[in-house]
Amino acid sequence: MQAIEVSHLVKKFGPLTAVNDISFSVGVGETFGFLGPNGAGKTTTIRILTGISRPTSGTATIFGHDITRDTIAARQSMGIVSETSNVYVDMTAWQNMMFSAELYHVGRRERERKATELLSLFGLYDRRHSIARGFSKGMMRRLTLAMGLVNSPRLLFLDEPTSGLDVQSNLIIREVITDLIREEVTIFLTTHNIEEANVMCDRVAIIDKGYVAAIDAPERLKKTIQSVQSIEFSFDRSSPTQMDELRQIPMVNELRKEGDKFKLYTENPSAVIDGVMAYAHARNVRVISITTLGPSLEDVFIKLTGLQRSGGGVHAID
């Protein structure tokens, strides 16, 4: 039995098809990344998988329970951590934990034990009687995650768990997620942080415009676009015309400046290295470092979703 089994799922909102005939499965204990640009259909899919929204057609099962027909049993085994830190800000951290546990019918002794354990794990136990309104963004996020785990779920939906957090909260949350993975909790991770998905996920699905563009292990996905390679250079000094000059080097398909480094994309790394060394010699600048890189998961994501890079970031093609 799979933790999640999705078959030919379609969701339409009037003339708009938000999810278009997607099928995939997530094994028990697997960490599954669900990536896609804004408006790709990620949230709609999660709303269907958590039983909030009803599919137009197709089926989805959670540990064998049909999410449409057997919603309550399906939800009983899942924890949900939404993108927004949706805690009750007028209640204390402890009250928030108790309320979440009561919704899942967790017995009194068990919910108090679990709340104590989780609040301690997330570094919030000393603040358990504080009203959540006074919590920082990181503390709110940690409390949200603690609330999502209070029913000891076998499947956890994590929507942007570490987005925009301070270092401490980020570290705590990643550590807890790593522990959950070790305990074979199935994790369905949605994130914009592609490197996070690359490091944490057994497999990732890339969804775009309602379709699943690819599903595979991160390393296997990268192999599908081996032609996209890059070389990272840094020089001892820079000049205003450096970007334009480097772009003129033969075989450079794309150029990005990342901090004090230049990343040159090519299908012929050795030709580009020769070109850069010739440029450095001619301009009398010294190359401090050279790193050759294979395609990243972000490269795969960009190639499959048709996004294009803009400066240091990525933007959608209109």
Partner 1 sequence: MGFTPSINRGGLRERLSRELFAAWAIAKKDVSIYYLKPPVIVSGMLFPLFMFLAFAVGRPGGPSVLIPGLIAVTILFSASSVEPVSIPIERRTKTYDRLLSAPISMNAVVFGESLSGFLYSIGIAFIVLIAGLLIFRPPLVSAIPLVLGMLLTSFCFATMGTLFAAYPTESPGDIVSMLNLVRFPLIFISGIFIPLESIPAIGQIVAFFSPLTYGNDLIEAAFRGETHFTLLVNVAMLCIFILIFQVVANQLYKKFAQ
Pick the binder of partner 1 from 10, 27, 70, 274 (CB under 8 A). Answer: 70
Return the range that interacts with partner 1 (CB under 8 A); candidates 34-42, 78-86, 198-206, 300-308: 78-86
For position 69 contacting partner 1 by CB under 8 A, the verdict is yes
Tell whether residue 61 is a contact of partner 1 (CB under 8 A). Answer: no
Q: Which listed residue (90, 244, 254, 260) binds partner 1 by CB under 8 A?
A: 90
User: Of 8, 54, 220, 281, which lies in the binding site for partner 1, with binding defined by CB under 8 A?
Assistant: 54
Q: Which is nearer to partner 1, 54 or 137 (CB)?
A: 54
Span interacting with partner 1, options 34-42, 84-92, 238-246, 300-308, rule CB under 8 A: 84-92
Q: Which of 7, 8, 39, 84 binds partner 1 (CB under 8 A)?
A: 84
Q: Which stretch binds partner 1 (CB under 8 A): 24-32, 88-96, 221-229, 244-252?
A: 88-96
Cα separation, 280 vs 275, whole angstroms: 9
Residue pair 204/187 in contact by the 8 Å Cβ criterion: no
Nearer to partner 1 by Cβ, of 91 and 314: the residue is 91
Residue 141 vs 222, nearer CB to partner 1? 141
Give the strand pairing for 4-13 and 57-62. Answer: antiparallel
Per CB under 8 A, 182 contacts partner 1: no
Which residues make beta-bridge pairs with 233? 262, 290
Give the residue, chosen from 21, 104, 192, 251, that forms a contact with partner 1 under the rule CB under 8 A. Answer: 104
Distance CA 74, CA 29 (A): 16
Q: Output 56 or 296, the one with its CB closest to partner 1.
A: 56
Q: Is 72 in the site for partner 1 (CB under 8 A)?
A: yes
- The label of the residue with tokens 């794309």 reads 254
CA angle 125, 129, 131 (to 5 degrees): 115
Binding of partner 1 by 95 (CB under 8 A): yes
User: What is the bridge-based pairing of β-strands 155-159 and 186-190?
Assistant: parallel
The one-letter code for the residue type at 125 is Y
Residue count at the site for partner 1 (CB under 8 A)?
A: 30
| Contacting range for partner 1; rule: CB under 8 A; set: 101-109, 162-170, 192-200, 253-261 | 101-109
- Site for partner 1 contains 51 (CB under 8 A): yes
Please, which residues have CB within 8 angstroms of residue 212's CB and are 6 or more apart in sequence? 22, 23, 24, 205, 206
Least distance (Å) from partner 1 to the CB of residue 108?
11
Residues 9-28 that bind partner 1 (CB under 8 A): none
Asked if 7 interacts with partner 1 (CB under 8 A), we say no
Instruction: Based on the shown chain and the rule CB under 8 A, indicate whether residue 99 belongs to the binding site for partner 1.
Output: yes
Binding of partner 1 at residue 75 (CB under 8 A)?
A: yes
Q: Measured between alpha carbons, how far is 259 from 16 in angstroms, rounded to an integer?
A: 40
Which residues of the chain form contacts with partner 1 (CB under 8 A)? Answer: 50-54, 65, 68-73, 75-76, 80, 82, 84, 86-91, 95, 99-100, 102-105
